[in-house]
Chains A and B, each alone.
Chain A
Amino acid sequence: MSDLSYHLKAESAAEVCDASPSDFVQLLKPRVMSLVVLSALAGILLAPGHVNPVIGFASLVSIAVGAGAAGALNMWYDADVDAIMIRTRGRPIPSGRIDRDVALGFGLMLAAFSVLTLGLVANWLAASLLAFTIFFYIVIYSMWLKRATPQNIVIGGAAGALPPIVAYTAMTGSFSLSSFVLFAIIFVWTPPHFWALALIKSGDYARAGIPMMPNVKGPDRTRLEILIYTLLLAPLGVLPFVLGFASMLYGALSLILGALFVALAVQVYRRRQGDAAEKAAKQLFAFSILYLFLLLALIVAEHGLGLAAFAAQ
């Protein structure tokens, strides 16, 4: 006898998802996404020749959604450590607003849609790069490096630095030195940015068992490495002007901002105890965000408004 009728286990009302759309938006890590949008926009505007605004916008949306998908998949995988850390325990999964499996499905669906859309709208080389970026962030960084080595955010930073290359490739189908320079700036910017945060939140990371630099090599070694990376970053930040794809205004601003960044890193290096040490690390963390935002915003403004050609004269 075959009886194909069956009933699914009924959900009780308590098990029904009561997440709001804003909880799903939170899964996308909107603040990280905003940096991705800005750096990808810079990559799009650096492309030579006329960029169709519709194709540019659709590519930008695809890259942003791809970054959001990576954020959702990261929250799916890191739900256990997010629940331990004070900084992250209010996220949708550890706070119980979204089920882990729902986040996995949401992230995978968005990843697939973003890659396919970029492939159809722009080209498949850019789509492959976007897929690689998501893979790198989830598998190489989240699943492997994050819990294995204090160099986690150094190598993992490549995922956050790739969007300008993806965006430039979406517009041109090829690579360029200018997009690699933006990659290098974001890549070298990542360690001082995250290690400043790790100095402030070292207890949080230690409780969760994440081997961040201050927990493994100690705060003093972290301060030294922050200073070294900042000394590398300051000249890198000026490179767009030196190579001729940013104006004199950008050159001057990047010099001033780079010098300020180094000055704050020196403060972090020198102030090692008590409130002064924490204050210096907080200042460096806040300034690092402003630094990258201003450099990228200026490149976007110059190329978006056609000021680069004017300024170069």
Chain B
Amino acid sequence: MKSALRIGILVVCAAAFLMAGLDLSFGTPAYTDMDDYMLAHGQEETGSNNIVTGVVFDYRGFDTLGEATVLFTVVLGAGLVFRRLGKKEDEYEYE
């Protein structure tokens, strides 16, 4: 009885997600103005053959700066969480 209920809930939830997923259409974006512009002018304006790198490091440099800062903060947080309390002298520390 209980397992039947579980399986029923699982089927209903999976069906709900699959219904939403099946409606998606890939490869036909609604708005392509920005993509077309970057594909047409990206190499010329950034000097980078790899358009993805051109977008990440030139058009959206501030975004990349934020990512790098987030990574820096992540390391600070991890060093705080994983610090060893009451460590001995000879132990390796990383904080």
Partners in one complex: no
Using a CB–CB cutoff of 8 Å, the interface residues on chain A facing chain B are none
